[in-house]
Structure 1
Amino acid sequence: MRKILVGASAAAVLALAGCSSQDSGHSAMTTTTTPSVQSGYNTEDVTFAQQMIPHHQQAVDMAKLVPSRGTDPKVRELATRVQQAQDPEIQQLTDMLKKWNAAPQGMDHGSAGHGGMDTTHLEAAKGTEFDRMWLQMMIEHHQGAVQMSQTELSKGSSPEAKALAQKIIDAQQAEITEMQAMLK
């Protein structure tokens, strides 16, 4: 009888420990994709935010190259829009991570879900060659963001993260269509 009570007490302590750590948003207990009713987010939401921040930052960095290297006014205007859209989204994603007590990832673009796009050739190009290369690379980059956002929609649980994912899909899919037309 005593062994059963000790075992039950240990199980109760572990269960309580799991509940308290789940509220923090960082424990091993939150590594499952099961949404937490109390916290309103899951690990897929955290992963989405952690990966989308450096992904968006790379797009902003690419957009900053356009004024000094590109010549097409339409590419310049699009680059400005990309930067204006993604800077506030980076802040929103950062705020989500803070709210969830989750650390952002480093700026390792290779782990950000878009294949570690190498911009070396882009940085060396100028004029029409640059414009064409920028459009091609940004299409690929946007496709990566759309895929990451689709994963968030299917596996995430945070209404805020899912709303942002849908916004990213809508905006970037429209820009992909625009860039494909510009390449023709």
Structure 2
Amino acid sequence: MSYPTRTRLLTAAIGAAALLSAVGCAADESNRSSDSTSSQHAAESHSVTSSAAAAAQRDDFDQADVTFLAGMYPHHAQAVAMAELVPERSQNPRIRELATSIEQAQQPEMDQIAALLQSFGQPAPTTAMSAMDGHAGMMSNQQMTDLAAASGSTFDTMFLTMMIAHHQGAVEMANAELAEGRNPDTKQLAEQIITAQQSEIDLMNTLLAGS
């Protein structure tokens, strides 16, 4: 074999070896990337599973806590809906101020209720109110429609009368929680509701007497 021929063969062999090496490195890099992605997904899955397990293992609550929270969420939602009707229908500054206070107090409590239920491993609360019509001071759909259609002093009287009954229902629910519940955070919320809403009941009775 001539020298030029041997040189060409040697050059070709070196080139082939380099190509195989590059392909091998690319495959290794792909495998490492795949392994890294799989590890990341596994870690995320483990984190989610661990969080769910922690919620399932929590035992500092009972059914009374769950019932109270699941019922108070739509109860609060209706109170907020009633308060939102006030600015366009009432000219009474004290009633307008009361409505603002109700919104500012009860919307954050709804967020707290949702967080507590989640920590208990319970489904997210719903604002569906039909199942609670006539229960614990809840207004029916017809009552809400009538309230929305009123204005002026007629609205003021309806709003105060309905909200007093609504608050009394909330206080009743909160007292049941204090008697039967176990969770300290839920019981603290119940105490907070009793204090705030009983004070507002007293104010609304005063406003109603003067209307």
Aligned to 2:46: none
Amino acid at match of 1:111: A
Query: How many pairs are equivalent?
Result: 151
Offset of residue 55 of structure 1: 0.3
Partner residue in 1 for 2:56: 24
* Percent identity (aligned): 44
**CA shift for structure 1 position 115:** 5.3
Contact 1:110–1:116 (Cα < 8 Å) also in 2: no
1:96-145 deviation line (CA, Å, top 9, x unaligned): 00100101343232434435413111010001110111000000000000
The residue that corresponds to 1:140 in the other structure is: 165
Trace 1:74-85 onto structure 2 (pairs within 5 A): 74-85=94-105
Name which one, 1 or 2, has greater alpha-carbon Rg. Answer: 2
Output one character per residue of 1:25-72: Cα deviation in whole Å (capped at 9) or x when no partner.
7xxxxxxxxxxxx51100110111100000000000000000011111
Are 1:106 and 2:126 counterparts? yes
**1:67 match: secondary structure:** coil
TM-score, scaled relative to structure 2: 0.68
Aligned to 2:180: 155
Structure-to-structure mapping, 1:1-184, within 5 angstroms = 24=56, 39-112=59-132, 113-114=135-136, 116-118=138-140, 119-184=144-209
User: Is the 1:135–1:179 contact (alpha carbons within 8 Å) kept by the matching residues of 2?
Assistant: yes
Structure 2: runs of 5 or more not aligned: 1-52
- The one-letter code of the counterpart of 1:61 is A
What RMSD over aligned residues (CA atoms) do the two structures have, in Å? 1.6
**Farther off after superposition, 159-168 or 110-119:** 110-119
Runs of 4+ residues deviating >4 angstroms: none
Q: Is the 8 A contact 1:70 1:127 kept in 2?
A: yes
Q: Which amino acid aligns with 2:200?
A: E
Distance 1:164 1:146 in 2: 11
CA distance in 2, matches of 1:117, 1:71: 23
Report if aligned partners of 1:60, 1:83 keep a CA contact under 8 Å in 2.
yes
Q: Which stretch of structure 1 is more off in the superposition, 41-50 or 109-118?
A: 109-118
Structure 1: tracts of 5 or more residues without a match = 1-20, 26-37
Q: Which moved more, 1:158-167 or 1:96-105?
A: 96-105
